[in-house]
A and B are shown apart, each in its own frame.
Chain A
Amino acid sequence: DAKTTQPPSMDCAEGRAANLPCNHSTISGNEYVYWYRQIHSQGPQYIIHGLKNNETNEMASLIITEDRKSSTLILPHATLRDTAVYYCIVSFSGTYKYIFGTGTRLKVLA
């Protein structure tokens, strides 16, 4: 079973920040948090990952709480092309294994 819990769906207005939460209350010390997204009819695409520090790249920011039991993916200025299913995954470093949940279906509205 997946070790993460995400809301099934969210809406966001175009141009606004999209904040996608993820609960991973049973995460262990050497497990990373990964975020992927899957646009319709495509394979999942890597977005970002982190261990305990906040991370930012050209696509998004990842905020991990101090106790590491939850995280938030932030898309700072959502566009219509960000409409997708977003998956939060926890994975032991070095196991190279993912267990996907059902993700959050984000719909960006014009």
Chain B
Amino acid sequence: EAGVAQSPRYKIIEKRQSVAFWCNPISGHATLYWYQQILGQGPKLLIQFQNNGVVDDSQLPKDRFSAERLKGVDSTLKIQPAKLEDSAVYLCASSSRLAIHPDTQYFGPGTRLTVL
């Protein structure tokens, strides 16, 4: 079974530029999460989707961050414009309510963003 795929793995941009990250969850997983992990900290949930609907985006800085999951499968997270403090690893995870352990989340390798 293929895991969660993310691209790109690394991205370097200058402040005020825009950037987009892509995530393809495990096949059949209806729940998709985006996390932000700043160096030295644990991951922080930005947004959670159930199919193509948003379940929780309370921690998403909506003035600059947006995310979509139009067909309920893959997802894109965008930052526009980027700030220096957005430098972090962006992790995507997925889970399935139909699994034996529905709360278990499976994480992708992450995208490391550096904002100069």
Is B72's beta carbon under 8 Å from chain A? no
Tell me whether B42 and A87 are in contact (CB under 8 A): yes
Report Cα–Cα, A44/B40, bound state, in Å: 14
- Range of interface residues on B (Cβ < 8 Å): 20 to 34
- Majority secondary structure of chain B interface residues (helix, strand, loop or mixed): loop
- Range of interface residues on A (Cβ < 8 Å): 20 to 34
Tell me whether A102 and B107 are in contact (CB under 8 A): no
> Known contacts A96-B31, A96-B95; is A45 also within 8 Å of B107 by CB?
yes
- Majority secondary structure of chain A interface residues (helix, strand, loop or mixed): loop
Report Cα–Cα, A93/B95, bound state, in Å: 13
Tell me whether A96 and B42 are in contact (CB under 8 A): no
Question: For residue A68, which residues in chain B have a CB less than 8 angstroms away from its CB?
Answer: none
Is B82's beta carbon under 8 Å from chain A? no
Question: For residue B93, which residues in chain A have a CB less than 8 angstroms away from its CB?
Answer: 43-44
